[in-house]
Structure formats: C-alpha cells, structure tokens
A and B are shown apart, each in its own frame.
Chain A
Amino acid sequence: MKKIHVTRLSCLGVVAIVTRLSLAVLLLAAVVSMVAGQTLAANLQSSPALLPLEQALSQIVSEDEAVREAALRVLLEQGDGTLIPRLEDIRANADRSIRQAIKPVMDLLRNRAKLQSPEADARRSAATDLGMLGKPVAIPWLDQAAAKEPNKWVRYTMQESAALLKLVGNDQAAKLVAVDQLGKLASQNAVPALQELVSAGSAEGVNASQQALAEAARVSIERIETWAVWSTAIETLFRGISLSSILLIMSVGLAIVFGLMGVINMAHGELMMVGAYATFVTQEAFKAFFPATMFDYYFAAAMPMAFLVAAGCGMLLEVTVIRFLYGRPLETMLATWGISLVLMQAARVYFGDLTAVAAPAWLSGGLQVMVGVFLPNNRLFIILLSVICVLTIYFMLFRSGLGLRVRAVTQNRNMSACLGIPTRKVDAYTFAFGSGLAGIAGWALTLIGNVDPGLGQNYIVDSFMVVVTGGVGKLAGTIVASLGIGGLNKLLEPSLGAVYGKVCILVLVILFLQWRPSGLFAIKGRHADS
C-alpha cells in the first residue's frame, strides 16, 4: 500500500505534496490540542480536588526528596482509604527508599478508613495503631471519630491516642492539656512518654514552661500508677478465681470418685481427655454436616456429648475393672494407671496430632470492665460453669433420692445393702457421674489449652492435690482447697515466677498435710477411721 502511495505521489510532483501535507499536519495538531485543552478544562471543572491528588500520586515516585515529601503531605491531608489500592500498585513497582516512604502514609490512610468501620474491634485497633504511628496529622481524625463514637472503650482508646499524639507536637499549651488528660485517662501506654517529659524537665537550663510540663507529667504518672495498683489487684484477684475455678472443675469429679467411693482412679485425667476429644469430634461433625453459620453452636452441643461419652467410659471401666477391686486401693491404682496408658496411646494412634478445637466466637476475646482490667470471656465462662457444676452436685447429692443412697452406701455399705439399697448399681452410677464430670472438665479445658493425648496428665496431679488438701469425702473441702491453692498460686507467681511459684505451692501443701493429715475438712465421727 505504502509503496503504491509513494509512486503516485512522485507522479504528482514532490514539492507540492510536501507543502500540502505539512499544512494538513499543522491543522490536525491544532485541532487535537484544542480538544485536549477542552477535556482538561472539563476535568478541572468537574472535580477540582482530583488534580492535586493525581499530581501527588505521580510525584511520590519522584527522585527529588522535597517534591516527594510535599506529595506525601498532600496525600495525607486530602487522601482517604480509596487511595490505598493505587498506592499499593505504586509501591509494588517502586524501589526500596520510596517503598519505605509510602508505607507510613498507607498505614495512616488505612487506619483512618478503619476508624469508620462498623466493627468496634476494628475501630479500636485502628485508633491504637494511629496512636503508635506518632503522626500528629491523625489528631483531628481521632477527635472527630471520638465525638461520634458510641462504644465507651473505643472512645477511650481514641482519646488516649489523640492525647499521645499531642505529646509529639510542639505546642506547649496543647501538651499540657494532653498530659493532664492522659493522667485522667489512667493510660498505662503514656507512661514512657511522660517519663521522658519528666527527665527532660529535670535537665539543666530548661525554661519555665518545660518545667511546668514536667511537673504536670509527674502528677499524671502518679495518678496512673495509683490506678495501676488497683487494676493489678483486681486482675490478680480475677486470675486467682479463674485458676481456682479450673482446679475446681477438674477435681469435683475426682472428689466424688475418690472422696465418696474411695477409688483412686489414675485414669481420671484420661476421662477428661475423652471429654476433650468428644468436643473435638462434635466440632468436626458440625464442620462436615452442618452449614458454616451453625458452627458456633457446636460448643453447646458438645457439652452433653462430652458428659455422656466420658460417663459411658466410666461406666464401662467400673463394670469391667474397678468393680472387682473395691477395697483394694493399691490394685485399683495400678489397674487404672494401666488403663490410663492404654487410653493415652489409643488416642495418639487414632487421632494423631491434628486436633485443634476452635473456641466459638462468643467465647473468644474478652470484656473490659475498667481501665487496665480485661477479663477474657473463656475464663468468665469457666467460672460460671464451675459454679453451676457445684450447685448441680449439691442438689444431686443432698436433695435427690440417688444422692441419699450414695451417701448411705458411703457411710455404711453393709447396712445399706441390708436395707435394700442396690449397692452395686449405686456404685456404678456414682462412678459414671464422676467420670461424666471429668468429661465436662475436658470440654471446658479445650477453651484454655489444646487437645492432645497428654492432656489428662497435665491436670491429674493438681486434681489429686486439691482433693487431698480439701479433705477426702468433703465437697466443701474441695471448693475451699481449690480457691486457696488457685488464689495463693496467683498471689505468689508475679513475684516468684511460674517455676518457683509452683514449687512453693507444693511445699506449702506438704507442710499443711503434715499439720493436718486428713485435710481441711476432716470427716469426724465413728466412720472416720474405717
């Protein structure tokens, strides 16, 4: 085609064509530039804010640092969350120094967008992050968000972050207000920054305003520390109660089996493990057979499962082994220990190590009750559960027909048999009930730790310790002993550390049993010796 054109052109005369062509080109260029100018103007009219942002976006990859800084400032002042994907693109292609310069801007914009999130947790974590990034540009964002924030604790975090950012700036008056506010908020996060202000004020040759600031900071720190003492005390108390509730829920089953029936069941820990695995199997069943929206209900469904499976195992154990060993504690101990080994290895062989139980959403996270005191939901739940368990046992033992028979058999087996109580049946039911309680403990413990074959071994020693310290055969003793051991443990741990805390507890228990061999609540009367 081109060739044909050229030949034709040459026929018509080269010079004339060249002049005509150049004219046409000029004309075309003029038209194009006019059209372009019009669209540009139109763009400018329709969205005037877009231009500086666009310009800034193109300038952040500039070689000149000053231009880059200015562009980043523009982005921060006028940008919002929608810019993040574009920044992401730029960042992917840019070199290292530019990537590092863009990152804080992206973090700021992302967190600014998250301040509007419908989820309280996301808003709160965005506010914390903005406080930690240390860029005063975020102060108005936080103030605005705090003004319309409905959630008390999210608002608290926003105010705290804004005040922390004000400390970074140069405005002395604003700093003084921020220092005071942080003191009022009892913000533990502010202590390092405030301490810096104090030490800056004590240096030589500082002016009066700085000294005033240091003084205000000192007052605020004192205020924060006083608050911290109280919040730590409350948290320690809660931790003690939480550990006690775990000890209690582990040992109530044992208190019935060991305390009332006198059976030293070394496989009690493994019955907890059975309960935990029942929970795991229920979870897997929910994953496989029910829609994902139902998943959180698995945990409620797992409770009767754990109880029944563990009770069933206990019943089987009683009928096949323990029944023949009543009154022979050493043989019982050896036999049940052997069974515990069998159960452990069976779990290891059958389940392997792919056993994770995910806590349902309503049991993860925690509840903030006051500044610095955060109570995890799973622990609150276990405290509640242990109370329910103790009440159930109380009613079962002291307010029901079965309980009456159990107590009668415990006190005098032969006489009960003479009076027509089916002692064998009562034994089997009692043992199954104690085992079922172990299953419930296993179910609850999946919230704290993981499910593995050695789960029972971790708890069995503590359970025996609680039951023996409390006094064999006394439910009240078990409750008091678990509260005492749990509370004392948490009291000692902060100063002694986990290892020596535990050693100390064991020594104290040994000393206590030397003093009172039959435990806190000894059974008195004639049948105490038998």
Chain B
Amino acid sequence: MSEIKTQDSNTTLTVEGQPSRREFLVQGSKAAAGVGIAALLGNLGHWALSYAADKEPIKIGVLHSLSGTMAISEVSLRDVVLMAVDEINAKGGIMGRQVKPVVVDPASNWDLFAEKAKQLLLQDKVTVVFGCWTSVSRKSVLPVFEKNNGLLFYPVQYEGEECSHNVFYTGAAVNQQAVPAVEYLMSKEGGAYKKFYLLGTDYVYPRTTNKILRAMLLAKKVPEANIMEEYTPFHHQDYQTIVGKIKKFAAGGGAAVISTINGDSNVPFYKEFANQGLRAEDAPIMAFSVAEDELRGMDTSALVGHLAAWNYYQSVDTPQNKKFVADFKAYCKKNNLPDGEKRVTDDPIEAAYFGVHVWKQAVEKAGKTDVDAVRKAVYGQKFLAPGGEIMMDTGNQHTHKPVLIGEILKDGQFKVVSRSKGLVKPEPWSEYTNPDKGCDWISHQGTYPKK
C-alpha cells in the first residue's frame, strides 16, 4: 500500500515541477558539462588508481590453526605456503606484483574458522585463501566463501560428496586414496586379502569413507560377514577390546585393517596391536591419516611394516622432490622454526605447496586476480609438483594425482610398494554410493544428475 502511494505522489511531483523550455536547456547544458568533466576526472583517477594497483602487492590469506589440537598438523602447511610465496616473490612476484600473505590463527576452533575467513575476505580483501585441515573446519568456512565469492585452496585428502564452486581441492578424493588402497589389498600383489576391519574415529571423514568402502566391498562380492565396522571417540586411548576383536577376526589369515583413526589415538592403537602379539603379516593396518609429519612424533617400532595410502611421500625419487625437501628443511632452519632441519614433508604439505603455484599460474594466465577469471584459468592447469606432474580437473575443481601405497619404515619414512599407472581422475561423488551424481562447473552447474 505505502509503496503505491509513494509512486503516486512522485508522479504528481514530476508533473507539477515540469521546467520551462529555456530553463531546461540551460540546466541541461550545465549538467552535460559537469558530467563530461566528472567523467574526465574519473578516468584520470581510475587510471591513476590502476597504475598504483599494479605496484601494490597481491594479498592472499593463510587460514591454518597455529594453536590448539590441530596445530601439530597445520603449522607445517602454513610454513610451506609461506615458503612457496617466498619462492614466487624471489622470482619477481606475479605480473610484477609481490605476493603478500595475511596469516590468521583460527586456533583449532571451527566457529573461529568461519569468523577468520570472513575477516580475510571482507576486511583484508584477500584474492585467495589457502587453508583448513579438518572436514569440519572446511564445512564451517564453506558458506562464507560461497556467499562472498571467495576462493579457497584446500590441501588435505577428504571424504568427497562436495562440489563447491569456491573451493579447489588439491588433496585426494576418496577414489584417489581409500578406494585404490583397498583394491591394492584385494589384488594378488597386495596379498589378496578377503576380510576387512574398518576402524575409525567417530566423525564425518571416517564415517563417509567407510560408507563408500563398504559399498565398494559389497559390489566386489565380499560377503557382509567379512566386513567389520567400528568407531571410537576422539582421543580414545584404550584399544584392548578392539585389538582383541581384530585378533579373533583375523584368525585364519586373510584379514586387513583399514584405519581412519585420527590424531593422538594412533599411538595407543599401534602399541596395543603390537603388544597383543599381532604382526603386520597377520593383519596389515592400512592407514589414511598417518603421514611422515605425524610419524616423526611417534615411536615407530610398533608401526614398521604397516601400510598407508597417499599421493606423495618424502621418499618419492624425483629431482624436483629432492629439491623441494631440501628447500623446505632449509626454509625451516633459516626462519628458526621448531625442529628446523629435522622437519619432513608429506602429502598435505606437498598439496599445499603446489596449490600456491597452481594459483600463481592461473593468475598469470588470467592476467588479473579476479576470482571468476582465476577460477576459469585454474581448470586444466598443469604443474610439475614434487611428487610428479599433476593436473587440475577441467570441470570439478579437484586434482588429478597419482596414488601411491607405502610401507612404514623404521625411520618414519615410507617405501613405495605400489604406484598407480598415470594420474587418477578425481570423483567427488563416489561411483559406489552416489552413482547417479556428478560434479561439473563447466557443462553443468556443480552437482548434476548423471544418466
């Protein structure tokens, strides 16, 4: 009602205040001149501004926990991102502009993750953010990035079932880590295992991964009775009963443990496993959350001979990896970071590192830092990462990567026992649990129904 009224009164006003012809001409010419001068000034100003902007550094955000429980893992990612930025700046930056990182600390608190992401995007106006580790933290910042059209590079393997326009996933999807790992265990080369004990910490990543693995095992004709699934609370320390169950389950051979146990529960689990007289030959543990960086804080004697699946290991034998490892150690030493030269690299560290370089290449290709232009330029981008050449997918924002199965050695490093042929194409929606869904941002609008 009120709107209609205002419109009415407006109309009457215009009719009443109609200027005379002469007045109109005078006013009109004045206005035209004003607009012209303003436009001229505006152009000048814009040119001046853009000239200044060329010299201005490009701001990027680094969103990793530097305190709290996740700091143990995430600090290394911040370090490697800053190292990559240093490398880029040392070579003259991007299009002549330096890169300036804005580092914030979300303190392992997922509400704070969203808050800090907002601060980076709206207050610091960064062009891209590198960050997050846990799936919970990613889910927490996702609405912030989608609402403000930000860009996040996420460097950790995750459970899939996500297809955001504002995230580039440089870690593995489930079909690039968990699924090939179990396929390897089922193969003759991997030991032809027939029984699988799926053991994880009780949260979204293990639950979703195990859901996919269970569907896959059933599809491969593994009987229901040969699959066990079990979860423990966070920080669980007492694995007596579970190891006892594994022992019964593994009696007679042919059984493997698929572990998605997270964080500080790993040590008590492996210790109990060894102390109850189980060996890697009786039932190997295939882990998806144990990498070099976690192993350096553990007594490895109970872990030797067990397996892990990743897309990169520090022991990968390529010239660019040797340089990468040496550079990282030198960087940590030079900047007096804790443990200096004793630091190691692992899969998420590598993924965080090449994420920065892929973004740099995309900015150079796009010629500007605008999110939409950069996103388009990232599709299909290739980079010679430390672990071998990787390629960004041409539609689903994930990364084509090799899959490597490694055996844990005494010194906390891995011996690669199996390697995928070429790169594995990422599938955010698993063919086993969501065969009817696909993810594509070029020919579709994100998640689409497959036929």
Q: Is the CB of A378 within 8 A of B275?
A: yes
* CB-contacts of A181-215 with B (<8 A): 188-193
Q: Is the CB of B235 within 8 A of A458?
A: yes
Top 10 nearest A-B pairs by Cβ distance?
Answer: A376-B275, A450-B267, A192-B252, A188-B251, A356-B299, A498-B232, A352-B338, A239-B240, A353-B297, A449-B268
A143 contacts partner chain B, Cβ-Cβ < 8 Å: no
B296 contacts partner chain A, Cβ-Cβ < 8 Å: yes
* CB-contacts of B247-285 with A (<8 A): 248, 251-254, 264, 267-268, 271-272, 274-277, 279, 281-282
Given A358-B301, A374-B277, do A189 and B253 touch, yes or no (CB 8 Å)? yes
Which of B251, B281, B342 contacts A125 (CB under 8 A)? B281
A61 contacts partner chain B, Cβ-Cβ < 8 Å: no
Given A345-B67, A499-B233, do A354 and B339 touch, yes or no (CB 8 Å)? yes
What 0/1 pattern do residues 241 to 254 of A give for CB contact below 8 A with B? 01100100000000
Q: Is the CB of B275 within 8 A of A497?
A: no
**Nearest residue in A to B251 (C-beta to C-beta)?**
A188
Alpha-carbon gap, A428 to B272, bound state (A): 38
**Nearest residue in A to B293 (C-beta to C-beta)?**
A353
B95 CB → nearest A CB, Å: 38
Which of A348, A374, A494 contacts B276 (CB under 8 A)? A374
Q: Is the CB of B338 within 8 A of A458?
A: no
Q: Which of A18-26, A332-340, A364-372, A403-411 contacts B (4 or more CB under 8 A)?
A: A364-372
Give the residues in chain B near A366, CB-CB below 8 Å: 275-277
Query: Which bucket holds chain A's interface residue count?
Result: 35 or more
A454 contacts partner chain B, Cβ-Cβ < 8 Å: yes
Alpha-carbon gap, A359 to B72, bound state (A): 23
* CB-contacts of B331-384 with A (<8 A): 338-339, 342
Q: Is the CB of B237 within 8 A of A448?
A: yes
What 0/1 pattern do residues 365 to 388 of A give for CB contact below 8 A with B? 110100000101111000000000
B242 contacts partner chain A, Cβ-Cβ < 8 Å: yes
A sample of 20 inter-chain contacts (CB < 8 A) reads A128-B279, A189-B252, A190-B252, A242-B240, A348-B67, A352-B338, A353-B72, A353-B297, A354-B296, A354-B339, A359-B299, A364-B302, A366-B277, A376-B275, A448-B272, A450-B268, A452-B297, A459-B237, A497-B231, A499-B231
Give the residues in chain B near A374, CB-CB below 8 Å: 276-277
Task: Given contacts A132-B281, A188-B252, list 20 more A-B pairs with CB under 8 A.
Answer: A188-B251, A189-B253, A192-B252, A239-B241, A354-B297, A354-B342, A364-B274, A364-B302, A379-B240, A448-B268, A448-B271, A448-B272, A449-B267, A450-B264, A450-B268, A450-B297, A450-B299, A454-B235, A458-B235, A502-B233
> Which one of A228, A365, A374 has the highest number of Cβ atoms from chain B below 10 Å of its Cβ?
A374
Which of B264, B275, B299 contacts A377 (CB under 8 A)? B275
> Which one of B202, B252, B298 has the highest number of Cβ atoms from chain A below 10 Å of its Cβ?
B252
Given A365-B277, A454-B69, A454-B264, do A132 and B296 touch, yes or no (CB 8 Å)? no
CB-based A-B contact count at 8 angstroms: 125
Report A's interface with B, CB cutoff 8 A.
100, 125, 128-129, 132, 188-193, 228, 232, 235-236, 239, 242-243, 246, 345, 348, 352-359, 364-366, 368, 374, 376-379, 447-450, 452, 454, 457-459, 489-490, 493-494, 497-499, 502
> Which one of A358, A379, A450, A499 has the highest number of Cβ atoms from chain B below 10 Å of its Cβ?
A450
Q: Is the CB of B281 within 8 A of A129?
A: yes
Alpha-carbon gap, A339 to B319, bound state (A): 49
Alpha-carbon gap, A502 to B342, bound state (A): 39
Alpha-carbon gap, A145 to B267, bound state (A): 36
Majority SS of interface residues in chain A? Answer: helix
What 0/1 pattern do residues 106 to 139 of B give for CB contact below 8 A with A? 0000000000000000000000000000000000
A386 CB → nearest B CB, Å: 15
Given A353-B297, A377-B275, do A239 and B244 touch, yes or no (CB 8 Å)? yes
Give the residues in chain B near A499, CB-CB below 8 Å: 202, 231-233
B100 contacts partner chain A, Cβ-Cβ < 8 Å: no
Alpha-carbon gap, A190 to B302, bound state (A): 27
**Nearest residue in A to B244 (C-beta to C-beta)?**
A235
**Nearest residue in B to A194 (C-beta to C-beta)?**
B252
Q: Is the CB of A494 within 8 A of B241?
A: yes
Give the residues in chain B near A493, CB-CB below 8 Å: 241
Which of A243, A364, A452 contacts B240 (CB under 8 A)? A243
Q: Is the CB of A352 within 8 A of B276?
A: no
B55 contacts partner chain A, Cβ-Cβ < 8 Å: no
Given A345-B67, A498-B236, A499-B233, do A191 and B297 touch, yes or no (CB 8 Å)? no
Given A348-B71, A356-B298, do A490 and B240 touch, yes or no (CB 8 Å)? yes
Q: Is the CB of B241 within 8 A of A128?
A: no
Q: Is the CB of B252 within 8 A of A355?
A: no
Q: Is the CB of A188 within 8 A of B279?
A: no
